[in-house]
Amino acid sequence: MADLAEHIADRVKKRIATVETFPVPSSLDALATASLAQVRDGLAALHTDDAELAQRVIREDSGVDRHHRTVLKELKEAIRREPDRVDTWLQLINTARNLERVADHASDIAETVVYLKAGDIIRHGGGGGEPKNP
């Protein structure tokens, strides 16, 4: 996650260094907020050994994926509309990809919590993460 955060920070530095400025698309802001919530909740589940919270993180990963698809759709349209800004749009697409991957890592942490608490290996088709006998 730290490497992905560093990549995002590098994109922000490049964006600040350019002459043109414009607001971050609201869909990208929503993706960032959702990804941050996943990280916060995934780490909280790990810290408190909370399988229920971990299961929520796993379920909410699909919402982050929806945000990511929305961002990609909007930025692809922006490329068609303003091809002279293609470098900017591609940097934002890369940032969106990194944010989605951060959320995926948070889900991986949550899957580990479920495994430690319930013995279910979710990513390999386990029993859905419901604790067997907590």
State residue 123's pLDDT score.
Answer: 65
- Give all domains of the chain, ordered by start, each with its CATH number: 2-124 (1.20.58.220)
Query: What's the rounded Cα separation, in Å, for the pair 126 and 36?
Result: 27
Q: Cα–Cα distances in Å, from 67 out to 4, 32, 47, 53? A: 18, 9, 27, 21
* 21-79 pLDDT, tens digit each: 677 899 999 999 999 999 999 999 999 999 999 999 999 999 999 999 999 999 999 99
Residues 56 and 42: beta-carbon distance below 8 Å: no
State residue 130's pLDDT score.
Answer: 45
